[in-house]
Amino acid sequence: MAQFAVNPSFISFAGGYPAADAFDFDGIRRASEKAWSQGAKDCLQYGATEGVAPLRAALKALGLARGIHAEDDQLMVTTGSQQALDFLLRATVAPGDTVLVERPTYPGALQAFRLAGARVVGIDGDAEGIDPQAVARAIEAAPSKPKMIYVVPTFANPTGATMSESRRRDLLALAAKHDILLVEDDPYGLLRFSGDAVAPIAAHAAKDAELRKVSVYLSTLSKVAVPALRIGWMVASSEVTRRCVMAKQVSDLCTSPWMQHIGAAYLDSPEFAAHVPRIIATYKERADAMVTALHQAFDKEWVFLVPDGGMFLWVKLPRGVDAGELLKAALAQKVVFVPGAACYASEPDAACLRMSYSTASPEVIREGVARLAHAYRSYCVG
């Protein structure tokens, strides 16, 4: 998909990239200058594996604003949240261990689980996220106790769904009852443009020592600042964090201190607080444009959940339509999306696709959907 995303003749709804035209260029530049002026040597020297102190403090404050409390030995900085998941798997999952995931789920996580040799079991979800009762049945049916439950509970990739408050509490209680790590991947939680906010699972875990033992929270600055900083972080129990720190020491010693100091300066600046509402407004405009264009082009033939935030729409196509084959017709019209099969651990539903609205203007979205409608008509005729 990447080759088409950078080809100016193609319209891409494929990549989960943030909107480059909405980056806070001036704010990041000023944060970079501030970080350098306050300590060029600190920017260029090795840093603590857990993360430099100013960034850790800024991330703790960002978490506290959403109810997430982290002690010093419970937070580590990583080079993107994908690295945090990688280290978590190295520290806790052995080949053959069972990992439970929502069906469908984030393709990058599936790749990480497969690389770790895990047995991945998909559990159906709906507009309220994964069903805790179905998770309980899967735990009972597993040949051995699962090591991990992985969810993207807020504006999920790929579905855009948000897990309800009651399901978050029930899932956390279930994980604690069976002593299974509950991994909450939260790249999009700050990107809500409609509806009422739902507290992170980690915020519920913060209120109880037993719940904190199984709660793991992953997040990133890639979607709310810029991806190039490569700043992610993890909040987990001190024991889990310690083991992940050891994995990071073996891997890369530390995330770039220069980028960390820039990230800290940006989070502490008024520019960050002003920037987040701007990107939320940008994504709302683009999501509205895509929803309207799809309704106009396909009426009720294509079914999808209207998201309250994030970057994605998940489309259910009519029975018998293969999204992989439809993509071939779409490429001929120079528009791309992600076939849904990539988002399933097993037994994929071929009649689904993921569309991202984050990188295209409303005008481009309307043109892209028109091309997609033309491709769909060609597919149906052919």
Query: What local confidence, expressed as pLDDT, does residue 207 receive?
Result: 85
State whether 101 and 148 are in the same domain.
yes
Q: Is 278 exposed, middle or buried (0-12, 13-18, 19+ CB in 10 A)?
A: exposed
Q: How far apart are CA 377 and CA 382, in angstroms?
A: 8
Q: Are 224 and 198 part of one and the same domain?
A: yes
**The domain boundary residue, chosen from 224, 252, 270:** 270
Residues 19, 80, single domain; the answer is no
What pLDDT, on the 0 to 100 scale, is given for residue 7? 81
Residues of the chain with pLDDT under 70: 1-2
- Main-chain phi, psi angles of 97, to 5 degrees: -65, 150
Q: Which of 270, 286, 306 is the last residue of a domain?
A: 270
Which residues form the domain of 13? 2-24+273-381
Same domain, 140 and 200: yes
Q: Tell me, what's the pLDDT at 382?
A: 72
Written as one letter, the residue type at 364 is V
Specify the pLDDT at position 34. 98
Q: Which residues pair with 192 in a beta bridge?
A: 309
Domain count, the chain: 2
Domain co-membership, 250 together with 301 = no
Helix (H) or strand (E) holding 353: strand 352-356
Residues 40 and 117 in one domain: yes
Query: Which amino acid, residue 301?
Result: E
Sign of CA dihedral 87, 91, 92, 94: positive
pLDDT at 39: 95
Same domain, 58 and 192: yes
Q: What's the pLDDT score for residue 135?
A: 98
- Give the domain-ending residue among 209, 237, 270: 270
Q: What is the pLDDT of residue 4?
A: 74
CATH code: domain of residue 200: 3.40.640.10
Domain co-membership, 223 together with 306: no
53 plus 201 within the same structural domain? yes
Q: Do 194 and 262 fall within a single domain?
A: yes
pLDDT at 234: 98
Q: What is the pTM of this model?
A: 0.96
